[in-house]
A and B are shown apart, each in its own frame.
Chain A
């Protein structure tokens, strides 16, 4: 790592700097508005996220930052605290898109038309971005807390609604506990190796050679504890218990945000930690790997089977998001460049897919005030285009072409078969059919069942229309022309192994 501060050091943090500026703008702008006009804060946030996204992608296209050919040392900045590479880029794109789309679908939710809401969304995004970039346990912890604390507040944001308050509390208690366990694991890791930098730890382990049994036990313990923390983040079984309640109680747009961006951030950290060997040699057959494989299998199965029995669509999508985390783990445990690339691709497409799905829920529940599946009766007659958006989102979740979910699953299972895990791929596919059962039943509610309010169209404002149309268009685009994005994630995945 270079010790002189060069422009690259600043560029490495440009998106976060942009978001901080946006945060200040939002807070100042909010003060100047009367309460009825506060809806505009959301518009400003969405535009701001879009501009920061352009900056992020622009600096990659124009300045070549991050450098796709950089060495390990050349891509570490700020004293090894963060790494500015393609992985960071890919995840930042995800988070900024999530921020933008979430702002757009939040616009018309009355209780969320406040500056604080958008400010907290932005700080959470900053936290996620730093989590994905972090290559040091200290940095990781700070980033995680930035993201988490904002998220706890957001979950309980509708203070007058007892379910929302409950969700905030529950999320906080579970989250604080998981983070505590994780922090303990990190301190053990530091105790063994004397290092906090990922690559410092890896180098130390490589130089130290075979460790004595006691050290190995402590090492394993610390690794398990760290996985508890991030298993919580990605809501993998058995750390998923908070998910349905928090997803159900939180304001729906925030549920969309937490189920996509937060999950992606958790995966970003797991990918970095696991593939670079911080938590132990990444090889098939290691105890580590077996644990993650078991976690993937249990997560998909439990998520899907539990989702079948839900009649609240937010709870159903909560269990579905647990199952989706299981699929994404398949790419991780394939332990290959293709596998990690596939996981990133999957998370990316999942952001658009799930925000489109939750966006539909937001629009419907804005009018009806509840989130029962029956509220979707006759949606295709009430609002054919909204039904179409939901249809594509559902198809993508279920993995049916021409949507991105199909290609995403294809990449994941292909990587698994490539690593000799055809049985895991088969398991994933059988699971995908269990999932199809409840996904298709949503289609049935929208297209088949009738309701007595069919002539009342669901109001969708211009901003939300843009958000939903954009998400749907990307879902189809990623499903039909996957090559450019898949190439990017594949190249990015090479950096995970460069340690």
Chain B
């Protein structure tokens, strides 16, 4: 049997958590060393796997099951078709690497935490394990299991170590939103599970089987929305994004990093893996509608961000806006859009992790995140300031940085998204034609983003520095510098050399897009709306 890379990546943090909890109370020191060791181990393995995957990219016409590497398969609850199957494709290889990086950053950034460090690191390890598990799971039940596993430590960490004023409210809100969403997905998943025999497929949760299932169109139409939306809640899709800014703000720095950096990608990833890949016809039917939601996401999210005075809320809403771009890339339903969405996940993940670590450093020293009160931070905290500016440039899609590499294909994909076989017209307007309009309006979101980012940089980092106002302005630790440099370097590297990441992600997205291209049906939700409208007009005319 091959070396179980993926099991180690997903399970070693759990082992670390158990050992940390067993340690005597006085030895908090060791707990963070152990956490660091687990994270470094994960990073090394995921980096190795990423490189290995990069050298063996699957051909463009491969089925999804054939693109998986490092597959591990063991029986678990075999009688009902639940098995322990792990494997990675191009997208999950990248996201596993992203999680390892952000997880390492999270441990480093909370190095000096002093309130119950043992519990902090144990729960943090569980959180990382849950996230990694979702990315490497090839079994639907296992995916769901890890997904739930990730939510709970989130709750506990926000409640215990979060920002005092909002933590109880935000933690409960986040937990209920995410769990309800995922369980609704799961009901839809179960309903489809019992339809598998009708396709001549065995009763199994193995997603490799599911990814070839051809459910009847009527079924896809009904169950696509619960299946997709339940997970898209975690991806921050409007109007279910509400939990996320509150959660970001209330969480301690390391958790905010994982939360915005990785956890939201979990939602987008699961929505794609379970929603889009299993029900391609449902996707083609519903996406022309969902793209309107993502448009609101992008524009509305950035408008709200514009109004924020609290730096964390600013980043929280900008995350909503950026995650909207990921969903929009999916809604484009072509390879360009999907690849852009994949790169955006990584770029946004690293960028927000960077943002939150900077805000955490500032907050620890200034004890406020209010942009009206902060100014001139560049003079005392040059490293975080430069890092924040790099992040800001990424966020507004500056060429040469990763944001551009991600957003450009998304807009390109959406622009040409109408080339799918969408038919029918609403009031003389072909629905295929509104995709370019969506692209144009959503690029407004970028302009707004530029406005609030530049403003934030201007007020917080430049301007007058008043030394009397701050009493706790100590310099940052070398370990913090390392974290900031690591994140910034990745953002620049992707921007300058997109070829380190684009081909891998593209190879992961190709099988999904192929499924969409194979989907035969041509009616969309817009046609249904149109015919309903026609009926209504006829009925009104007749009456």
Contacts and interface: CB of A to CB of B under 8 A. Distances in A.
Given A388-B21, A436-B179, A483-B76, A413 B187 contact: yes
A179 to B, nearest CB: 39
B62 interface: no
A447 B160 contact: yes
A373 to B, nearest CB: 14
Contacts of B77: 482-483, 486
Contacts of B190: 413-414, 417, 422, 425
Contacts, number: 78
Contacts of B21: 388
Nearest to B122: A388
Contacts of A433: 176, 179-180, 183
Contact of B176 (A395, A417, A437, A487): A437
B206 interface: no
A444 B171 CA distance: 10
A309 to B, nearest CB: 16
B294 interface: no
Interface stretch (B149-157, B270-278, B323-331, B529-537): B149-157
Nearest to B130: A401
Contacts of B175: 436, 440
Nearest to B162: A448
Most buried by B among A406, A432, A448: A448
A406 B179 CA distance: 12
B79 A490 contact: yes
B168 interface: yes
B187 A426 contact: yes
A380 interface: yes
B78 interface: yes
B191 interface: yes
B394 interface: no
Interface string B67-109: 0000000011111100000000000000000000000000000
A355 B276 CA distance: 43
A418 interface: yes
Most buried by A among B21, B80, B175: B80
B172 A401 contact: no
A430 interface: yes
B501 interface: no
Contacts of B183: 429, 432-433
Contacts of A406: 145, 148
Contacts of B137: none
B149 A440 contact: no
A384 B145 CA distance: 26
A448 B160 contact: yes
B182 to A, nearest CB: 10
Nearest to A418: B194
B15 to A, nearest CB: 13
Contacts of A74: none
A402 interface: yes
A381 B119 CA distance: 11
A422 B189 CA distance: 11
Contacts of B119: 380, 384, 447
Question: Which secondary structure dominates chain B's binding surface?
Answer: helix
A401 B79 contact: no
Contact of A447 (B80, B141, B151, B156): B156
Interface size class of A (residues with CB under 8 A): 20 to 34
Interface residues of B, number: 34
Contact of A395 (B141, B152, B160): B152
A400 interface: yes
Nearest to A419: B194
Interface string A437-449: 1001001100110
A448 B159 contact: yes
Contacts of B191: 417, 422
Given A433-B176, A444-B168, A486-B77, A384 B149 contact: no
B156 A443 contact: yes
A382 to B, nearest CB: 12
A490 B77 CA distance: 12
Nearest to B79: A487
A400 B152 contact: yes
Nearest to B22: A385
B159 A384 contact: no
A406 B148 CA distance: 9
Given A417-B187, A422-B190, A440 B180 contact: no
B27 interface: no
Contacts of B145: 401-402, 406
B23 to A, nearest CB: 11
Contacts of B180: 429-430, 433
Contact of A426 (B80, B141, B172, B184): B184
B309 interface: no
B379 interface: no
Nearest to A441: B172
B80 A402 contact: no
Contacts of B373: none
B474 interface: no
Contacts of A437: 172, 176
A141 B370 CA distance: 71
B481 interface: no
Contact of B25 (A384, A418, A482, A486): A384
B147 to A, nearest CB: 9
B17 to A, nearest CB: 11
Contacts of B148: 400-401, 406
Contacts of A444: 159, 168
Nearest to B203: A418
Interface in A404-428: 406, 410, 413-414, 417-418, 422, 425-426
B31 to A, nearest CB: 13
A422 B187 contact: yes
Nearest to A426: B187
Interface string B169-198: 000100110011001101100110110000
A437 B186 CA distance: 20
B149 A402 contact: yes
Given A380-B119, A422-B191, A448 B149 contact: no
Contacts of B172: 437, 440
Contacts of B80: 414
A447 B167 CA distance: 13
B266 to A, nearest CB: 15
B347 to A, nearest CB: 31
Nearest to B188: A422
A437 B179 CA distance: 11
B168 A486 contact: no
Contacts of B151: 400
Contacts of A381: 116
A483 B149 contact: no
A388 B17 CA distance: 13
A281 B165 CA distance: 58
Contacts of A483: 75-79
Interface in B108-160: 116, 119, 141, 145, 148-149, 151-152, 155-156, 159-160
A443 B187 contact: no
A453 B91 CA distance: 51
Contact of A486 (B75, B79, B156, B193): B79
A395 B193 CA distance: 26
Contacts of A413: 187, 190
Interface in B500-542: none
A426 B189 CA distance: 12
Given A414-B190, A422-B191, A433-B176, A443 B79 contact: no
A413 B152 CA distance: 21
B20 to A, nearest CB: 12
5 contacts: A406-B145, A429-B184, A443-B159, A447-B160, A486-B79
Ranked 9 nearest A-B pairs via Cβ: A417-B190, A429-B183, A483-B77, A401-B148, A401-B145, A401-B149, A400-B152, A448-B159, A447-B160
Given A381-B116, A425-B190, A433-B179, 8 more contacts: A384-B119, A401-B148, A410-B141, A413-B187, A436-B175, A447-B159, A482-B77, A483-B77
